[in-house]
Each structure stands twice: as structure tokens, then as C-alpha cells.
């Protein structure tokens, strides 16, 4: 299905996004490794990107300031951003029970009960 979708995308957008299509075709084996995992694990992978989320939150706090008076001011802004985003980290992952079950099935040797 993914390969068919890539062919459809190439037919429609290949002329405009030729470099991306070339890259996807050259790296197809690495890109499609994602589909080797069951849906529960895939949803965890594509919906969870804590580093990007943290970077985005820090940018929100620092974007309004183009220049900080000193390094300490910048550190305080980053500290406030991290402090506020930590509140979101207490939220449970949706369908965590199903995800853990798939980890036990697919990575039995790594998961110890």
C-alpha cells in the first residue's frame, strides 16, 4: 500500500518535489521499516516526539526576545519553558495497555515482566 501511495504521489507531485521523491525511492528500505511494527507501536512512534515538542516550547518562549541581555536571562527563559512543558508530561499515553502488550509480543527477549 505504501509503495502504491508513493507511486501516486510521484505521478501527481514528482515534478514539483523531485528531490524528495528521489530520496524516498533511494531510502525505501529504511523508510518502510516503520511498517514492520504493529499499528499500536507505530502510533506511539509517530505521535511521540518529545525532543521536537520540547524544542517547540522553548522557541515559543525565546522567539519574542531577539536578544537576551546575558546568558543568565536566556537560561531563565529556557528554564521557564521546560518547567511549563513538564506539566504535560504527566499525561498518560493513549492505549498504553495495548502498546505494552505489543512490546511484549514483538520484543519478548527485551521485555521482562
Are residues 57 and 84 in contact, defined by beta-carbon separation less than 8 angstroms? yes
CB atoms within 10 A of CB 58: 17
Are residues 24 and 3 in contact, defined by beta-carbon separation less than 8 angstroms? no
Are residues 54 and 82 in contact, defined by beta-carbon separation less than 8 angstroms? yes
Query: Is residue 99 domain-resident?
Result: no
CB atoms within 10 A of CB 98: 15
pLDDT tens, residue by residue, 45-79: 776 566 787 888 888 888 877 788 889 988 998 89
Query: Is residue 19 domain-resident?
Result: yes
Query: Is residue 30 domain-resident?
Result: yes
The parent domain of residue 30 ranges over: 1-36
pLDDT at 86: 82
Mean pLDDT of 78-83: 88
Which of 6-10, 56-60, 64-68, 105-109 shows the lowest per-residue confidence on average (mean pLDDT)? 64-68
What residues contact residue 50 under an 8 Å CB cut-off, 6+ apart?
A: 89
pLDDT at 95: 83
Structurally, the chain folds into a number of domains equal to 1
The whole model's pTM is what? 0.49
Query: Is residue 24 domain-resident?
Result: yes
pLDDT at 52: 80
Rounded CA gap, 77 and 10, in Å? 44
Q: What is the DSSP string of 21-36?
A: HHHHHHTHHHHGGGGG
Rounded CA gap, 16 and 6, in Å? 14
Query: Is residue 65 domain-resident?
Result: no
Amino acid at each position: 500500500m505504501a509503495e502504491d501511495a508513493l507511486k501516486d504521489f510521484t505521478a501527481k507531485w514528482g515534478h514539483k518535489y523531485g528531490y524528495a521523491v528521489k530520496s524516498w525511492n533511494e531510502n525505501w528500505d529504511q523508510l518502510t521499516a516503520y511498517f514492520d511494527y504493529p499499528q499500536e507501536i507505530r502510533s506511539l512512534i509517530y505521535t511521540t516526539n518529545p525532543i521536537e515538542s520540547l524544542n517547540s516550547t522553548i522557541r515559543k518562549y525565546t522567539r519574542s526576545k531577539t536578544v537576551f541581555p546575558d546568558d543568565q536571562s536566556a537560561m531563565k527563559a529556557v528554564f521557564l519553558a521546560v518547567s511549563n512543558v513538564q506539566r504535560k508530561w504527566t499525561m498518560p499515553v493513549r492505549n498504553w495497555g495495548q502498546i505494552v502488550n505489543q512490546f511484549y509480543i514483538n520484543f519478548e527477549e527485551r521485555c521482562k515482566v
